[in-house]
Structure 1
């Protein structure tokens, strides 16, 4: 099989490795501005492909279409995929223009427009949050009043929770709208077109925020994993990490899987592995957002340690039509990825180190400074990911305790205050992308 990967988030480069090990031909279209650092390890993965197209603006429909057309003419492509949500629209447009196989372009474009996705759910009779799309301050305030405070303001086609806000009254909504206009300049230039589609005003959902990873192929569905979330109690927005398995009763998990299947059908997501963020509310599962890609951030590493299997093996099995799609159950205990995040902007100390993580017996992997383009002496922003670590314990309570203790030990060694603490199950949680 000839697979074309268009851009990638950092962990999904492992999909290239697995594809090559499985004997597939691989073409890779690399962004001019990669989300991952060009470390020796990452460069080795990228260099292993059969054909590399480098320096591409992977959010540009025409550029991606032209590059894929040239690659397809030289060696017919069987499937095109991207594991970078900001490239998903360009890939969908290219597949539609060239007749190449990928996840349904219509489904991808629906998923990338959260307002249109919500409308599709409503049309299908599925539970969804109340919402409206606004293009100016007056519309934002009117929509928030109509929906009822608190509401969530976020881009209809954003990524990584950027610019997402919870507002509790008109004054906060007005301030958030005005701050939004200045914040757009901080978004990477190649992404700004997708961020400039107004503001999505949504009902604030209360419940347990989880992620469901589900594979789909021609009407068949392959449940992989449901993970829970840690959120910072300081703002209810910032993702501190995720844990596997989620704290759900059996009937809640079953309801999430059935809901995920129905969402895929409603938007036409026909083939791929998808990351659905779902709020488990008193009225049942409600979609937060649908991501037409595999889980990101540190979750693939947590999944590997929790199950002994790479999640990208499931993706390749779905794409190549295998009868068996690997979906091992999590091992006993609880596995989490925790993010090291500054609570305030500052500078890491000259002796900043992550040594306490590597030395702890419950820590299974450290994704260190090099993967986040930071290190001793670096200027860091509030909310910036500095590192991640995978921790395993007997249960979630022990896991949280160990994680908090480790972060407390790191704080004086890094020289900046860190975000610690999160919501307990059943508490309010903000709907937005979490990494």
Structure 2
């Protein structure tokens, strides 16, 4: 364990799980400059160690009651000022710790209302927030009946997962029958225990531009930090293949939209912490897709930091400690990310390279996510874990940002072979 020497009056923060290094290290590195971080994890930390004051290895980080018990003794010896988690599968368990320690965002029922999308829909319907029609179902027959009532096309969605896992559009009854087992049987790496009586949502397919808003909430007041415009690929699935964040996005200053965002959080009862809220914008305005009780994934907070100068890690840490953070942007840039995939299922990676000479000047990062010998697939099987690389760029306008992303993607090259074939049967892609 790592312990600081001498007097250290930085606030003490309990972090539950660290996430994948390529996607989350920047958050932990920033938080560690102002907080003493104690990590709850299921394995001895590796890359996290330079940023930690201490850590505890537990059997599980999805067992909220057990973690609350473990945290109680640590808190009695040296109090924590806040409890934080940015992992979707663990935010509900983390709420039990915050409740036990008397910290912010310590209401498991509220967080579960966000995790269980059927409960989200029910609460928002009662609160008058615009959203797609949604019916929880357990069988194909129930799904067909719901789709007939709503009208095709419809979206099939697991009621308790994230990262667009299991989400698919179906245009007719035949497609619904074919894809229903895909949605019903999709799982996450960690167990998510939600209602098995109706594990699938059949939802109205609303169209338009899908956006996400990362916001900080303190004492019930919602402040949007940055808006990400999604790039979605691999239809009929909903894989997020990129995002663009503009510090000058007009939605940040749209009073009607800010009122919708505020109302959404009020109805759900979320009063403290950070959220990642998704809307579909059509000709008749926004309809809510979902609310996540954490910072966004997919490098979106990092893009927000590049574009606005706001530090999402420090903002999330402050909110978890009950401190109102500074949310005044200091930059006006546009930042984007694009994710790369292989072109066939069960591809064994031989090499992934980035031709630095091909990268435009606007490129910020070009990160390889896989190692030689690793087997990956594109969506729908691959999703987040099937990505082989990502690039981030920073520019002055959205057009320049998207052009730089397109150019940067061409600089990523990979070689691989189908699983089960001999070395030398190599495919290439970029």
> Is TM more than 0.5 here?
yes
Q: Which is bigger in relative contact order (C-alpha 8 A, separation at least 6)? A: 1
Aligned match of 2:41 in 14, 30, 37? 30
What's the CA shift for 1:5? 1.2
Q: Is the 8 A contact 1:358 1:365 kept in 2?
A: no
After TM superposition, the structure 1 = structure 2 runs for residues 217-228 of structure 1, keeping only pairs within 5 Å, are 217-228=218-229
Q: Is the 8 A contact 1:365 1:391 kept in 2?
A: yes
2: CA distance, partners of 1:254 / 1:411: 44
Map 1:36-75 → 2, pairs under 5 A = 42-45=47-50, 48-75=51-78
Q: How does 1:277-356 map to 2 (within 5 A)?
A: 277-322=278-323, 324-328=325-329, 330-332=331-333, 334-347=334-347, 350-356=350-356
Greater shift, 112-121 or 86-95, is seen at 86-95
- For 1:140, what is the secondary structure of its paired residue? helix
Aligned to 1:8: 18
Match of 2:86 among 83, 106, 111: 83
1:261-286 superposed Cα distances (whole Å, 9 cap, x missing partner): 11111111111111111111223221
Relative to 1, partners in 2 of residues 1:382 and 1:20: Cα closer, same or farther, differing over 3 Å? closer
Q: Which runs of 5+ in 2 are unaligned?
A: 1-10, 380-385, 417-426
1:397 aligns with 399
Given that 1:302 and 1:337 are in contact with CA atoms closer than 8 Å, whether structure 2 keeps it comes out as yes
Change (3 A) 1:8 1:277: farther
How far is the alpha carbon of 1:89 from its aligned partner? 1.6
TM-superposition CA deviations, 1:184-211 (whole Å, max 9, x none) = 4xx42x3253495610111111111111
Task: Provide closer, same or farther for how the CA distance between residues 362 and 376 of structure 1 changes in structure 2, counting only shifts above 3 A.
Answer: farther
Q: Give 3-state SS (helix, strand or coil) of 1:353's partner.
A: strand
Which stretches in structure 1 are left out of the alignment for 5+ residues?
419-435
**Contact 1:214 1:260 survives alignment (8 Å):** no
Relative distance call for 1:138 and 1:236 in structure 2 (3 A) is: closer
Q: CA RMSD in A?
A: 2.8
How does the TM-score come out when normalised to structure 1? 0.83
The equivalent position to 2:31 in structure 1, one of 19, 40, 47, is: 19
* Cα distance in 2 for residues equivalent to 1:323 and 1:192: 32
The SS at the match of 1:153 is strand
Contact 1:245–1:335, Cα closer than 8 Å, also in 2: yes
State the alpha-carbon separation in 1 of the partners of residues 411 and 398 from structure 2.
Answer: 20
| 1:336 partner SS | strand
Residue 163 of structure 1 deviates from its aligned partner by 1.1
Write 1 or 2 for the structure with the bigger share of helix.
Answer: 1
In 2: Cα distance, 1:395 partner to 1:164 partner:
32
Which digits, 9 at most, give the CA deviation of each residue in 1:79-134, with x for residues without a partner?
A: 22211110112122344456444353332111011111111111111111100101
Structure 1 residue 351 displacement after superposition? 4.3
Distance 1:357 1:306 in 2: 25
The reply on whether 1:116 has 2:119 as its aligned counterpart is yes
Residue 83 of structure 1: SS of its match in structure 2?
A: coil
Preserved CA contact (<8 Å) 1:153 1:201: yes
> Cα deviation per residue 1:53-90 (whole Å; 9 max; x = unaligned)?
12431112332222222322332233222111101121
Give the whole-Å Cα distance in 2 for the aligned partners of 1:250 and 1:164: 26
Q: Deviations over 1:219-273 (max 9, x none)?
A: 3332211111111264451111110128965698443322111111111111111
Q: How many residue pairs end up in the alignment?
A: 401
Q: Which moved more, 1:203-212 or 1:92-101?
A: 92-101
Indicate how the Cα distance of structure 1 residues 416 and 347 shifts in structure 2: closer, same or farther if over 3 A, else same. farther
Inter-partner Cα distance in structure 1 for 2:252 and 2:192: 41
TM-score, with structure 2 as normaliser? 0.84
- 1:130–1:417 Cα change, 3 Å: farther
In the alignment, the residues of structure 2 paired with residue 31 and residue 254 of structure 1 have an alpha-carbon distance, to the nearest angstrom, of: 44
Three-state SS of the structure 2 residue aligned to 1:115 is helix
